[in-house]
Structure 1
Amino acid sequence: MSTSLHHRAIENLGTRIVTGDLPAGHVMLAEQLEEELRVSRSVIREAVRVLQSLGLVETIKRVGIRVLPSSSWNPFDPLVIRWRLAGEGRGAQLRSLAELRSAVEPVAAELAAANAPVKLRHELVDISHAMREAGHAGDVPRFLELDIHFHSLLLSGSGNEMFANLMGQVAETLTGRTVHGLMPDHPHETALQWHVDLAEAVAAGDGPAARDASDRIMRRTMAEMEPTWTEQPRVFIPVRHH
């Protein structure tokens, strides 16, 4: 029970901060939050600790819990990504993630062609064919599950642990696009074929072909999603002087 209360408190406060309901500079008191969310002090303390780790709040002695500006948030954390995708800044979040994936995934595909274990190469091919079947059938939940698995395998197969640690971000992006109705029920045949091409290039150890197929997938993704972010401002993080 305490775990679900803890989760609910994090979701409640995190969503309100990221959507701007609790703006930067806003100060909250633990006792007020206890009363408002009807939870114990220990649940609030744990929730605040998580939000602090994400860069959303800071605690100030004899003042309270202060909301921090978006430039302080951890933009790579899957929770922050999910909350941003649920709010008005969805387009900007999708753009940032799509640009990150466009920069990383083609390189990861080329590295996977050179480095991935044999078992992973075979699994990638199997998943690509299963994706095509699910896409043709219009099985959206199954397609999402396979799509996440496919791109996670690709990042993992690169043999670069920093790329592999982007799996959570990619999963939240693909989930968010599906949940918010930004994915077609029947993916385009060309896109399905490109996933097969990519998997087969990785399996064959053809780095340039793998990179090219991944690049084509990402360019199409960017083109499809661009209307969601046309009017959205970019975020410029201040450079800190050390």
Structure 2
Amino acid sequence: MSGYSGRGVHGQLVAELGARIVSGELGRSDVIDLAALGRDLDVSMTALREAMKVLAAKGLVEARQKRGTYVRDREHWNLLDSDVIRWRSQAGDTVAVLRDLAEVRAVVEPAAASMAALRRDDRDLAELDAALAGMADAVGAGAAAEVAADLRWHRAMLRATHNEMLARMDVLIEPALSLRDALVHETAADDPVPSHAAVVEAVRGQDPEAAAAAMTSLLDKAAQDAASVLGGRHTEEEEAVTE
């Protein structure tokens, strides 16, 4: 591989190494020959060591005296990390990533909508309305705009719970939601505004049961859209895990 140059060298190096680990190119439990890897990537040992520190924080590698730096078993990886989620998708694990996302969202977001219905204030409603307007404006404006608008809405709903830990669930939802939306954008998907507006109206009406039901319906449709996009790309066995 040619050397790195210009801005973002550190980020590029982390991404390259992370992708190699997640894909299995750098095998688990393998001791990494840093000198050889540095020559292969045409980077300095200083840059390589800095990148390894980032990967260690994500649970992908560990350095020990006498053993050196080695790839950790998958059970130690931070699978909630946005980079790890992206690298899994790049390695062909998109179906599993989206399946896991759908299951996590089904656990978290209906309950969050229910809680938001009980706790929301005027400021929350204003942000949800603004996010809905942003979604309407983004329709047809391209994948990046539609993804950003969708993420804004989900963040606003999580914040409306007034639970700080739930609000930070966007760290988990964002990368995989971006992946799903980017895939679905290429199809003739339905207008997303009505399904999201139904949740907002239930929250506005302080109806927790209706809010949870509307969110569940929204998530069911999102999962169906993703399964439809992926259906032609995977075997029947892979398709089954998305159901």
- Shared fold per TM-score greater than 0.5: yes
Alpha-carbon distance in 1 for matches of 2:7, 2:100: 32
2:151 maps to 1:148: yes
TM-superposed deviation, 1:219: 1.3
Alpha-carbon distance in 1 for matches of 2:126, 2:144: 23
1:156-175 equivalence runs, <5 A: 156-175=159-178
Which has the larger displacement, 218-227 or 89-98? 218-227
Alpha-carbon distance in 1 for matches of 2:218, 2:186: 15
**Partner secondary structure for residue 86 of structure 1:** helix
Which residue of structure 1 aligns with residue 126 of structure 2? 122
Alpha-carbon distance in 2 for matches of 1:85, 1:26: 22
1:85-96 equivalence runs, <5 A: 85-96=89-100
Change (3 A) 1:24 1:226: same
Alpha-carbon distance in 1 for matches of 2:225, 2:137: 22
**Partner secondary structure for residue 104 of structure 2:** helix
Which residue of structure 1 aligns with residue 193 of structure 2? 192
Change (3 A) 1:187 1:125: farther
Runs of 4+ in 1 over 6 A off after TM superposition: none
Q: Deviations over 1:152-200 (max 9, x none)?
A: 1111221222222221222211221244x333455314x4311011122
Which residue of structure 1 aligns with residue 237 of structure 2? 231
Question: Residue type of the partner of 2:146?
Answer: F
Matched-pair contact (CA < 8 Å) for 1:125–1:200: no
User: Which of 77, 81, 93 is matched with 1:73 structurally?
Assistant: 77
Unaligned runs of 5+ in 1: 235-242
Alpha-carbon distance in 2 for matches of 1:145, 1:76: 20
Q: TM-score, normalised by structure 1?
A: 0.85
Unaligned runs of 5+ in 2: none
TM-superposed deviation, 1:2: 8.7
Which residue of structure 1 aligns with residue 55 of structure 2? 51
Which residue of structure 2 aligns with residue 240 of structure 1? none
Q: TM-score, normalised by structure 2?
A: 0.85
Q: How high is the sequence identity, in percent, across the aligned residues?
A: 29
Matched-pair contact (CA < 8 Å) for 1:138–1:186: no
Q: Deviations over 1:71-94 (max 9, x none)?
A: 211111111111112221110111
**Partner secondary structure for residue 63 of structure 2:** strand
TM-superposed deviation, 1:29: 2.2
Paired residues in the alignment total 231
Which residue of structure 2 aligns with residue 221 of structure 1? 222
Matched-pair contact (CA < 8 Å) for 2:31–2:69: yes
Change (3 A) 1:182 1:231: farther
